[in-house]
Copies of this chain bind each other. A is one copy, B any other.
Amino acid sequence: MTPDYKIFCLVPDLPDSTELEPFVAEMQANRWYTNFGPLTRRFEREMADFLLPNNAADIAVGTFSSATTALELVLKVMNLPQNARVLLPALTFPATALSVLNAGYTPVLSDVDAASWLLSPEIAKAALQDTSFDVVVPVATFGRPIDPKAWLSFQKETGIPVVLDAAAALGVQDVEPELITVFSLHATKPFGVGEGGLVVTADADLVKRAQSLSNFGFLGTAGVVQQIGTNAKFGEYYAAVGLAQLRRWQAVTEKRRQVAAWYSDMLPDGIQRQQGHDAFIPAVLCVFCDGKARHLTEKLASHAIQTRHWYLPLLHQHPALQCVDIVGGHAENLGVANHLQHGLFGLPFHGFLTKDDVAQICAILRDGIV
């Protein structure tokens, strides 16, 4: 972190040494440090119970080295056609598109909804008039949860499988067992362990095959490569952090909930948030103020308050992503995303902010917006 800021945009909240100690001690007693060791398997079981309380038996949870590799490997084991086309929103962290490309498929970019800033089932259905695709990856952009029931209906109606990229939404995203959901455990996420990702679905065999790919493609007989895999394993250290994080999650969440509530009270009119913002705690607090993002972020910076341009530029604007396809063939079809990009900016949002911090930020915004 650059030391120039007085208030940082994002400060990870991970377990301290005391909280970690029992799990690290257990790992060291096992002398087992990776390769799906006992802590990793326990973390997977506990996360199943966390994500689907009372119905954990209905879902399989698999750990991976990251959400990026998890999404890539899941796409690889879904038996998609060669050169499959994957619909995803133009407004997301680039990893979504990179996973698709690394799996050997073509990203097809869609616009997002003007209120939620997400790819919605309605937008996907409309896209089917213009183009074809073999799978949809809606994204819980900025940590806003996706409606899993609506996407399950889409999957059933169209026969097109749905993989929820809920990378930033662990803790707020409901899990639908009949879909596949990917979560990130990256340090910058609310439920951070450092590096890591989860795949969650009722299809335990799919999780097993994806984890086989994360372990060189070994399946069945030890050390025999049945599929072209890589090394994308999670490791016992991160499982130890995850188990400790789970035990302090209520406290982590409570602090974030309080900060979100202060913002709801104090943010001035004219600063737009994602639809339903009071019903969930976001991963990052990305707001919209038409054409004023630069002005406001400069004002905040002059008070040593950091902001970020999360998930910008839009996917098709990255130099290495010129190869992607766009619904309707032209970037002009991404009307909402194009509009949003000039007004989006990320405010400081983490559990270490005080009420005074939030008050100061909101006062600067109020002054700057007029």
Residues of A within 8 A of B (CB): 1, 11-12, 14, 16-17, 20-21, 24-25, 28, 31-35, 65-69, 72, 94-95, 98-99, 101-102, 186-187, 192, 194-195, 216-217, 223-233, 235-238, 241, 309, 312-313, 318-321
> How far in angstroms is the closest Cβ of chain B from A95?
6
Q: With A17-B24, A313-B224 known to touch, is A195 a contact of B229 (CB < 8 Å)? A: no
**Once bound together, how far apart are the Cα atoms of A21 and B67, in whole Å?**
28
Q: Among A12, A69, A187, A312, find the residue whose CB has the most chain B CB atoms closer than 10 A.
A: A187
Q: With A24-B17, A216-B94, A237-B237 known to touch, is A195 a contact of B226 (CB < 8 Å)? A: no
Q: Across the interface, name the chain B residue whose C-beta is closest to A70.
A: B231
Let me know if A318 and B102 touch, CB within 8 A.
no
> How far in angstroms is the closest Cβ of chain B from A322?
10
Let me know if B230 and A194 touch, CB within 8 A.
no
Nearest 3 pairs between A and B by C-beta? A33-B187, A66-B231, A225-B318
**Once bound together, how far apart are the Cα atoms of A95 and B28, in whole Å?**
27
Q: With A194-B237, A230-B102, A237-B238 known to touch, is A224 a contact of B318 (CB < 8 Å)? A: yes
Residues in B with CB closer than 8 Å to A12 are 31-33
**Once bound together, how far apart are the Cα atoms of A315 and B32, in whole Å?**
27
Let me know if B65 and A228 touch, CB within 8 A.
no
Q: Across the interface, name the chain B residue whose C-beta is closest to A67.
A: B231
Let me know if A230 and B69 touch, CB within 8 A.
yes
Let me know if A195 and B241 touch, CB within 8 A.
no
Q: With A68-B231, A69-B230, A187-B33 known to touch, is A216 a contact of B95 (CB < 8 Å)? A: yes
Let me know if A319 and B69 touch, CB within 8 A.
no
Residues in B with CB closer than 8 Å to A238 are 235, 237
Q: Across the interface, name the chain B residue whose C-beta is closest to A38.
A: B1
Let me know if A194 and B236 touch, CB within 8 A.
yes
> How far in angstroms is the closest Cβ of chain B from A83?
15
Residues in B with CB closer than 8 Å to A102 are 228, 230
Let me know if B223 and A320 touch, CB within 8 A.
no
Let me know if B17 and A187 touch, CB within 8 A.
no
- Contacts beyond the supplied A1-B32, A20-B24: 16 A-B pairs with Cβ under 8 Å: A17-B24, A34-B186, A34-B194, A65-B65, A66-B233, A69-B231, A94-B217, A95-B231, A99-B230, A194-B235, A194-B236, A195-B231, A195-B233, A217-B320, A226-B320, A228-B320
A sample of 29 inter-chain contacts (CB < 8 A) reads: A1-B32, A11-B31, A12-B33, A14-B31, A17-B21, A17-B28, A20-B24, A33-B192, A33-B194, A34-B186, A65-B231, A68-B231, A69-B230, A69-B232, A94-B216, A94-B223, A95-B231, A98-B229, A102-B230, A194-B235, A195-B233, A195-B235, A224-B313, A225-B318, A225-B319, A225-B320, A226-B318, A228-B320, A228-B321
Residues in B with CB closer than 8 Å to A224 are 313, 318-319
Q: Across the interface, name the chain B residue whose C-beta is closest to A236.
A: B194
**Once bound together, how far apart are the Cα atoms of A16 and B233, in whole Å?**
22
Residues in B with CB closer than 8 Å to A187 are 32-35
